[in-house]
């Protein structure tokens, strides 16, 4: 299954762009706007749980459904196994948000979100790192 990090699309001509539906784009826009609003209010330096609670509230205020700490089973040889994986947030059943409050996001964090997208059968995901001076630098959007 091919994937791309949206911000890198212009550099990667080998991976075709996967267009999102209008509903997916609407949800994506609301997620980015809400994350920026929460970051402006709280700033960096808090625990992920604080950002999760505030972002969930903000997304609900915008009319979206938000589930937090959603279990993701592993499908293996016809079995559904509980590997202990949890999505930080699932928004409108469409987008996965993985929250971080780290000094630096590493490739393993990208891989974590991509694995969650694959296991859940979703196409749209965001890795949001709130431990940045400007939130736009902490937003990574992924599309499968």
List 96's β-bridge partners, or say none: 90, 125
Q: Is 112 left (phi over 0), alpha (psi -120 to 50) or beta?
A: alpha
Q: What is the C-alpha separation between 80 and 127, in angstroms, rounded? A: 26
Q: What is the structure's pLDDT at 7?
A: 42
pLDDT at 2 over 60: no
Residue 10's pLDDT band (cuts 50, 70, 90): very low
Q: What is the C-alpha separation between 96 and 117, in angstroms, rounded? A: 7
- Beta-carbon count within 10 A of 44 CB: 16
Place of tokens 């991509």: 114
User: CB–CB of 98/113 below 8 Å?
Assistant: yes
What are the tens digits of pLDDT across the range 70-105? 999 888 898 888 888 899 999 999 999 999 999 999
Residue 109's pLDDT band (cuts 50, 70, 90): very high
Mean pLDDT over residues 2-22, rounded? 49
What are the tens digits of pLDDT across the range 44-72? 999 999 999 999 999 999 999 999 999 99
Q: What is the structure's pLDDT at 6?
A: 43
pLDDT at 36 over 50: yes
- Write down all domains in the chain, each with its CATH number in brackets: 4-8+20-143 (3.40.1350)
Asked whether the whole model's pTM tops 0.95, one would answer no
List 72's β-bridge partners, or say none: 85
Q: What is the structure's pLDDT at 16?
A: 41
């Amino acid at each position: 299954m091919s994937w791309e990090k949206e911000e890198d699309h212009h550099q990667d001509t080998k991976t075709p762009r996967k267009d999102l539906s209008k509903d997916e784009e609407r949800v994506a826009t609301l997620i980015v706007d809400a994350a920026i609003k929460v970051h402006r209010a709280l700033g960096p330096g808090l625990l992920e749980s604080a950002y999760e609670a505030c972002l969930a509230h903000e997304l609900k205020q915008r009319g979206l459904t938000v589930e937090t700490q959603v279990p993701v089973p592993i499908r293996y040889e016809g079995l559904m196994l509980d590997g202990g994986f949890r999505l930080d947030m699932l928004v409108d059943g469409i987008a996965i948000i993985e929250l971080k409050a780290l000094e630096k996001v590493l490739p393993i964090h990208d891989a974590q979100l991509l694995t969650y997208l694959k296991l859940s059968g979703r196409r749209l995901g965001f890795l949001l790192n709130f431990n940045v001076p400007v939130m736009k630098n902490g937003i990574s959007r992924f599309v499968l």
